[in-house]
């Protein structure tokens, strides 16, 4: 029994045989019960006709006796021949049914076995494994879903490897700088003055920010945080952002301003998290806007949603990079961002996860390189 329970194909095969045996048994019993009655009923008329052919009593009695004997013999022969034909038919049907059952169970079990084999290979790390899909039945749909799952696992594994490589590279850059400065101090190549120590401190601070960003990224991607969602004034969100970034904009001689309608409804959001998004987008705009440029924060209502926009007159984004701009560690100009002390390429990814956690969307538009960018996101309006 344990062997049978462990074999889907054998269970399907036996189930077909059980159905066949039940059907044959029902047919056999029904025939044995119904045949005598039907035979007697259909031949009653013939018996009456044969008995009516004899007009005198002796001839009639002898004719009836002979007729009944002949009918009994005929019925016995008929039943014997019928049973013989029925047994042959049942045997032929059983042979064909066994063959068909085997073929059907094989067709059902084969894709299941293929998925079992593929799942084993995927568990061993071969994420490119796929199964063939044929037809539109439930087995084919299951195979399609299996391939989709395998594709997602392969994508996740690719992203994991890429993340490890990106994190390693990002950590190596400030660590290499710190190590270089320390070796220069030990060898006497670099002077032990405030400027050298400030450079070391800046690199250590950069490393600390990267670790904080990675920790924040892991939390938002795993949704390991709660949202304190309530009605928040759009004006207060924007004003808080302006206050935090005004020193940075002033130091770079960039005009930082806001443009808000007076009749805006409040948004239904977590104030701290959305402020984090606005600060992230505006700081990113200031970072990539040259001196004398402008960064503006605006908002507008579209139906039951509020659209926030952060527009700059900065270096812009080429069209081929727009689709990947919210991907973690992705930067349009990697060499310039690293050498200029730019961000780690995580901030926009964090912003995207926070906005999506609120049920909103985030996107970017740019006319091209050197023509500025506009980052926008939507939130639900609500009191």
Per-residue pLDDT, 122: 85
Per-residue pLDDT, 58: 47
What would be the CATH architecture of the domain defined by 229-380? 2-Layer Sandwich (3.30)
> For the chain, which residues score pLDDT lower than 70?
1-13, 16, 30-75, 77-79, 81-82, 85, 104, 136-137, 330-345, 383
Q: What is the CATH number of domain 162-221?
A: 1.10.287.130
Per-residue pLDDT, 366: 92
One DSSP character per residue, 265-300 reads: PPEEEEHHHHHHHHHHHHHHHHHTS-TT-EEEEEEE
Per-residue pLDDT, 75: 64
DSSP 193: S
One DSSP character per residue, 296-344 reads: EEEEEEETTEEEEEEEE-SS---GGGGGGTTSTT--SSHHHHHHTT---
Q: What torsion, rounded to 10 degrees, do the Cα atoms 272, 275, 277, 282 define?
A: -160
Q: Where are the domains of the chain?
A: 2-123, 162-221, 229-380
Which among 82, 92, 85, 93 is positioned nearest to 32, based on CA atoms? 82
Chain-wide mean pLDDT for the chain?
80
* Tens digits of residue pLDDT in 337-376: 444 444 556 888 889 999 999 999 999 999 888 889 999 9
DSSP 264: P
């Amino acid at each position: 029994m344990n062997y049978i329970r462990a074999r889907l194909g054998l269970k399907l095969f036996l189930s077909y045989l059980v159905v066949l045996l039940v059907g044959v048994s029902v047919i056999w019993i029904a025939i044995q019960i119904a045949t005598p009655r039907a035979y007697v009923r259909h031949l009653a008329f013939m018996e009456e006709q044969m008995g009516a052919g004899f007009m005198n009593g002796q001839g009639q009695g002898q004719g009836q006796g002979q007729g009944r004997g002949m009918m009994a013999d005929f019925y016995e022969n008929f039943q014997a021949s019928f049973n013989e034909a029925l047994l042959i038919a049942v045997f032929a049907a059983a042979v064909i049914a066994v063959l068909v059952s085997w073929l059907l169970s094989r067709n059902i079990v084969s894709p299941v076995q293929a998925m079992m084999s593929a799942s084993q290979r995927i568990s061993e790390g071969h994420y490119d494994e796929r199964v063939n899909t044929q037809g539109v039945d439930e087995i084919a749909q299951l195979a399609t879903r299996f391939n989709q799952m395998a594709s997602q696992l392969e994508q996740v594994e690719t992203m994991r490897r890429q993340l490890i490589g990106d994190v390693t590279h990002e950590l190596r850059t400030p660590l290499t700088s710190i190590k270089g400065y320390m070796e220069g101090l030990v060898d006497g190549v670099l002077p032990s003055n405030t400027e050298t120590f400030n450079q070391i401190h800046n690199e250590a601070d950069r490393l600390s920010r990267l670790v904080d960003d990675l920790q924040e990224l892991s939390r938002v991607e795993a949704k390991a945080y709660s949202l304190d969602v309530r009605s928040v004034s759009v004006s207060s969100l924007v004003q808080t952002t302006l206050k935090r970034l005004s020193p940075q904009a002033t130091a770079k001689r960039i005009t930082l301003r806001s443009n808000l309608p007076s009749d805006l409804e409040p948004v239904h959001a977590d104030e701290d998290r959305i402020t984090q998004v606005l600060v992230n987008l505006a700081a990113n705009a200031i970072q990539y806007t040259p001196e004398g440029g402008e960064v503006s924060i605006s908002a507008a209502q579209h139906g039951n949603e509020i659209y926030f926009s952060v527009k700059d007159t900065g270096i812009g984004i080429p069209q081929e990079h727009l689709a990947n701009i919210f991907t973690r560690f992705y930067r349009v100009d990697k060499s310039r961002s690293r050498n200029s002390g730019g961000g780690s390429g995580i901030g926009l990814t964090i912003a995207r996860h926070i906005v999506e956690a609120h049920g909103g969307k985030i996107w970017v538009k740019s006319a091209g390189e050197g023509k500025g960018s506009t980052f926008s996101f939507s939130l639900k309006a609500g009191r």
